Structure formats: C-alpha cells, structure tokens
Amino acid sequence: MKKLTVSEMNRMNIRQFKESKKTPLIIVLDHIRSLYNVGSIFRTADAMRLEGIYLCGITATPPNTEIHKTALGAEDSVEWKYFNHTMDAVDYLHSNGYTVMSVEQCKGSTMLNDFTPEEGRKYAFVFGNEVKGVDQNIVNASDGCLEIPQLGTKHSMNVSVTAGMAIWHFVSKSYLQ
C-alpha cells in the first residue's frame, strides 16, 4: 500500500465546500474553554461536511491563532455563528426545525450506538464545557440526550474526541449505509 498524496485525495477547495450539499447536522459548543478543542471540532466538521458550528458563551471564535493550530483552515470553510447564550442557539435551532440533542450522561439518555438519525430530519448536537458538561438548562431544553458508552474508570472523555465520535456515528448512519 502507498499513502495518497494531497493531490490524489482530490479534496474540494473552500468555494466548492461552501457551495456543496451539507450533512444536516449543526454542532453547538456550550462554553468550551480550550481553543484547541474548538479548532479540532472545526476540522472534524469540515471533514464530515457539516452545516455549521454554533459557538456559545465563553467559547472563542475565529479568527484566533490557537483555533487555527488545530483547525488548519477549517474555520474558513465551516460556517459558524456566535451566541452569547447557549439557550438562544437552542431556541433558534428549534424555531428552524432542528432536533436538538445534548451529548451528555443523563437519566433516560440514548446510547450513541443505539441512535439512528431519521431521514429528512435536521439535527443539532450540543457539547458542553470540559469540566461541567452541558448546562442542565440546555439539557432540559433538548429533545433528547445521547450518551457514549464508556468502559473504564473515568466518567468523561475530551470534548473534541466525543464530538468526533458522535459526528462520525451520525454520518455513518446517515450516508454510509
């Protein structure tokens, strides 16, 4: 086997990306502290051609050197909006027909491996602060919660890893069947 060169990967440019059909998923970042996590999530959103990212509260916005270090330019291709309050983002999504799912450990949550997106439905996944998780008020306003099963001693994973897993699951269940 030979690794592909960048030119052999035949990736689209930013203009083509912006004009392309998007995966019907928006990521909501609820008070994410680490700019490297934000950049990593931008890069994953680009890779899976998501509709966009909503940055809320203390979550930093582009342009930003630390975001760029991990986004590697994805902050230029992926559409994003900023909301002072995460609840405003959730309300906006609901008013535009999105099903909002918090990715959090909750009573009655759906395990990610048991979740299959409904065809024709638009979704938003909310990811919470690295220490406190998704705010309870946001969980209450969500249409449901998704939980990633864990087998070890820790009760959580890094938010950018969690986002990558949830995004990949969504895309794999929606487009790769």
Spatial distance between the Cα atoms of 140 and 57, rounded to a whole number of angstroms? 18
Residue 177 confidence class, pLDDT cut points 50, 70, 90: low
Residue 6 forms part of a structural domain:
no
Strands lying side by side in the sheet with 110-111: 80-83, 50-56, 23-30, 122-128, 98-103, 144-147, 110-111
**Tens-digit pLDDT profile for residues 88-147:** 999 999 999 999 999 999 999 999 999 999 999 999 999 999 999 999 999 999 999 999
pLDDT at 37 over 60: yes
Structure-block tokens of residue 4: 């592909």
pLDDT of residue 44 exceeding 60, the answer is: yes
Contacts for 72 with CB less than 8 Å, ≥ 6 apart = 39, 43
DSSP secondary structure string for all residues of 72-100:
TTHHHHS-EEEESSHHHHHHHHHHTTEEE
Number of domains in the chain: 1
Residue 7: inside a domain, yes or no? Answer: no
Model pTM above 0.85:
yes
Give the span between the Cα atoms of 107 and 145, in whole angstroms: 9
- The reply to whether 37 falls in a domain is yes
Mean confidence (pLDDT) of the chain: 96
Residue 42: domain span: 21-147+154-175
Q: Is residue 15 part of a domain?
A: no
Note if the bond before 63 is cis, omega within 30 degrees. Answer: yes
What distance in Å separates the CA atoms of residue 148 and residue 32, rounded to the nearest whole number?
19
The answer to whether residues 61 and 82 touch, using CB atoms and an 8 Å cutoff, is yes
Domain with 128 in it: what CATH number?
A: 3.40.1280.10
In a domain, 160, yes or no: yes
Residue 1 lies in a domain: no
Tell me if 102 is assigned to some domain.
yes
